[in-house]
């Protein structure tokens, strides 16, 4: 089968398609014939040599995929049959023509969605669901500040925040991104290049601050985050795009707010946790991708590349201009 490959860490120019052995499903696994996968920041970091896959995971890039079940491994419980369309959360391996998946990490394709749209759901929507509900304990009436509001996780988090009866606010780096976020339901958006988002957030909340911050930036935002966090607020950190170092009185500022700093990495969670997350998401959220009406959820696609243009897809993500997901289509 063909798979995205790189021989040494570096830039997008190191990526190419390589013929590799097709995997076989093990105990409780299915083999998925991949129609589409999607890019995540983790793929860029792995390509740069900064983010190794978890032990036992495929070294092929790709944390999510959609396609068709083509083989069932021993011990499968019968919830999937050959020919079923499905989408999958993966620790790696999605950017290839075939990938093995534990059956509990597969989800049905919502009615009305294409396979490329479905490929844009698993990693970012499960991440946003986990951050808001399992870690941030979002409640109706909360105000939630979502950094990188036009990213894959950001566009999912805006919609899930609205669905929970809370108010989403976002930061982004361009007017176009803010407009897109507001179309998805953000109550307000702040251009971090042009204004102090913490001041703007405090103004919007009439000085109260936000109950939850979803933060993929880290170090460079710490002070502004604590400044605009409400009393008893939850700051959920899931990325370090703005660096890992903090210089200053983080603990005292957080202490006086009675704030919680919660960190999360989904990729390295064990299978049992991921299966619990997939089950909860499938039951509580997935039906809303198919229902007509104001509560309907939509994966946001920026661009679809054939996987033969994998270098261009990575370069496009590195420009930070994408709104929503960058999807890759595999040859059939």
d(CA 143, CA 205): 8
Whether the per-residue pLDDT at 186 is higher than 90: the answer is: yes
Six-digit token string for 63: 């944390």
Residue 107: the pLDDT is: 98
pLDDT score, position 217: 87
The model's pLDDT over 187-242, given as tens digits with 9 standing for 90+, comes to 999 999 999 999 999 999 999 999 999 999 888 888 999 999 999 999 999 988 88
**Residue at token pair 């704030």:** 259
DSSP classification of residue 181: H
Q: Is the per-residue pLDDT at 245 higher than 90?
A: no
Indicate the Cα dihedral angle 121, 128, 29, 4, nearest 10°.
Answer: 60
From residue 163, alpha-carbon distances to 126, 159, 230, 324, 325 in Å are: 15, 6, 21, 19, 21
The answer to whether the CB of 201 falls within 8 A of the CB of 209 is yes
The three-state secondary structure class of 172 is strand
Structure confidence by residue, pLDDT tens digits, 65-120:
999 999 999 999 888 999 999 999 999 999 999 999 999 999 999 999 999 999 99
Q: Are 299 and 277 in contact (CB under 8 A)?
A: no
Q: Which two tokens stand for residue 58?
A: 């495929």
Q: Is-contact 16 3, C-beta < 8 A?
A: no
Q: Which CATH code for domain 2-121+299-329?
A: 3.90.180.10
**Domain 127-263, what architecture?**
3-Layer(aba) Sandwich (3.40)
Q: What is the pTM of this model?
A: 0.93
Reduced to 3 states (helix: H, G, I; strand: E, B; else coil), residue 80 is coil
Give domain limits for the chain: 2-121+299-329, 127-263
83/88 Cα distance (integer angstroms): 15
């Amino acid at each position: 089968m063909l798979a995205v490959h790189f021989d040494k860490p570096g830039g997008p120019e190191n990526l190419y398609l390589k013929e590799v052995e097709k995997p076989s499903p093990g105990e409780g696994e299915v083999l998925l014939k991949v129609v589409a996968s999607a890019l995540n920041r983790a793929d860029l970091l792995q390509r740069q040599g900064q983010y190794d896959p978890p032990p036992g995971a495929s070294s092929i890039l790709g944390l999510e995929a959609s396609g068709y079940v083509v083989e069932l491994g021993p011990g499968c419980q019968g919830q999937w049959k050959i020919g079923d369309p499905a989408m999958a959360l993966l620790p790696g391996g999605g950017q290839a023509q075939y990938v093995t998946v534990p059956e509990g990490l597969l989800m049905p394709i919502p009615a009305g969605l294409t396979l490329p749209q479905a490929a844009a759901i698993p990693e970012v929507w499960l991440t946003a669901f986990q951050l808001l509900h399992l870690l941030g304990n979002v409640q109706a009436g909360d105000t939630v500040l979502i950094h990188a509001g036009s990213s894959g996780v950001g566009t999912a988090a805006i919609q899930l925040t609205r669905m929970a009866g809370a108010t989403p606010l976002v930061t982004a780096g361009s007017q176009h991104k803010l407009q897109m976020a507001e179309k998805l339901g953000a109550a307000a958006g702040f251009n971090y290049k042009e204004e102090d988002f913490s001041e703007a957030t405090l103004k919007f909340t009439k000085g109260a601050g936000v109950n939850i911050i979803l933060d993929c930036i880290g170090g460079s935002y710490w002070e502004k985050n604590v400044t605009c966090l409400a009393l008893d607020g939850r700051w959920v950190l899931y990325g370090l795009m703005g660096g890992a170092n903090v210089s200053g009185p983080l603990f005292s500022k957080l202490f006086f707010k009675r704030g919680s700093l919660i960190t999360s990495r989904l990729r390295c969670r064990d299978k049992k946790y991921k299966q619990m997350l997939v089950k909860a998401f499938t039951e509580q959220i997935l039906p809303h991708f198919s229902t007509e009406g104001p509560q309907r959820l939509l994966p946001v696609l920026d661009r679809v590349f054939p996987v033969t243009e994998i270098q261009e897809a990575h370069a496009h993500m590195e420009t930070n201009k994408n709104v929503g997901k960058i999807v890759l289509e595999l040859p059939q």
